[in-house]
Amino acid sequence: MKIFIDGQYYDENTAKVSVFDHGLLYGDGVFEGIRAYHGRVFRLKEHIDRLFFSAKAILLSPPMTNEAICEAVLATCRENNLRDGYIRLVVTRGVGTLGLNPNRCSKPSVIVIADKIQLYPQEMYEHGMAIVTVPTVRNLHSALNPAIKSLNYLNNILAKIEANNAGVEEAIMLNSEGFVAECTGDNIFIVRGNELLTPPLAAGALYGITRGVVLDLARDLGLRVGEPNLTRYDVFNADECFLTGTGAELIPVTKVDGRVIGTGEPGPQTRKLTELYHALTKTSGAPIFG
């Protein structure tokens, strides 16, 4: 595998960053998880735009333009002959001193890794997954805004550990007010009658690219789409529940905190939206090979 670091390609075992990079020392940096399907990078522009928004929020200026980073992602896929896979794009603050001060960092680094991913077992896509609510609440906007896809993912990792300890793969994170925010690496949706609902971004969710695509698909399907505050009660009593993410795509949830959701099997709207999502990934995206 060839890994892009600051304009050059390195083999897996020589692709290294400095121990003085503030991305390592402090989680100071931003990232994206992007997916390629059938020789096209899905929603590339949206991912790069979000990367730049995250970077702006932490006053980090990527050392390449938006267009140059798009091209680096496509070129790294080409270099690895990758048609289907998962791309991790990272911008770190760069090499600095042992103090926090980002102004001491000389130049941000851009890293692109083009690899494969299988987030959840196939069985869960067919029959649904069980999730739980965990005690770790989502970061406050006023502390570390969850909209920033930063290299500091400890809030999510702690929740993920709690999910694993409870014997499940994903967890609902509530915000400090007790409303449902999202999961550790996925956005959450419920279906109620002909309504598709997902927590508002202000509840503490990432501006999920898959979330946006699914909301558009649902509108096209004629579902009523809403982004109200949701409580655990709303989730327990939903007809259907599913999660979305670039890695996860759409995955049905059939049990939450021991409560069976709907019929206990993936519901019809979840199946329909999954089908439409897969159809879209087959036909849309930035071509890797021109």
- What are the catalytic residues? 149
The candidate with the shortest Cα–Cα distance to 266, out of 146, 123, 143, is 123
Tokens (6 digits) for 152: 């500091």
For 135, the 3-state DSSP assignment is: coil
The reply to whether 128 sits near ligand PMP by the rule CB under 6 A is no
Structure tokens at 89: 């794009």
For residue 200, which amino acid is it?
A: P
Binding status of residue 240 toward ligand PMP by CB under 6 A: no
Q: Which part of the chain contacts ligand PMP (CB under 6 A), choosing from 7-15, 104-112, 222-230, 241-249?
A: 241-249
Binding residues with ligand PMP: total (CB under 6 A): 15
For the bound state, the minimum distance from the C-beta of residue 134 to ligand PMP, rounded and expressed in Å, comes to: 13
Amino acid at 241: C
Rounded CA-CA distance 154/164 in Å is: 15
Among the listed residues 136, 198, 210, 281, the single contact to ligand PMP using CB under 6 A: 210
Is residue 187 near ligand PMP by the rule CB under 6 A? yes
> Of 76 and 246, which CB lies nearer to ligand PMP in the complex structure?
246
Q: How far is residue 85's CA from residue 222's CA, in Å, rounded to a whole number?
A: 31
Does 208 bind ligand PMP (CB under 6 A)? Our answer is yes
CB of 263 to ligand PMP, least distance (A): 26
Decide: is 139 part of the binding site for ligand PMP (CB under 6 A).
Answer: no
CB contact at 8 A, 208 and 214: no
Binding of residue 246 to ligand PMP (CB under 6 A): yes
Torsion of CA 206, 282, 34, 78, to 10 degrees: -170
Task: Name which of 48 and 209 has its Cβ closer to ligand PMP.
Answer: 209
Piece of 69-77, 224-232, 242-250, 259-267 that binds ligand PMP (CB under 6 A): 242-250
Cα–Cα distance, 196 to 270 (Å, whole number): 10
**182 sits near ligand PMP (criterion: CB under 6 A):** yes
Q: Is 270 in the site for ligand PMP (CB under 6 A)?
A: no
Rounded Cα gap, residues 224 and 201, in angstroms: 18
Contact 269, 263 (CB under 8 A): no
Residues in contact with ligand PMP by the rule CB under 6 A: 33, 156, 182, 185-187, 206, 208-211, 244-247
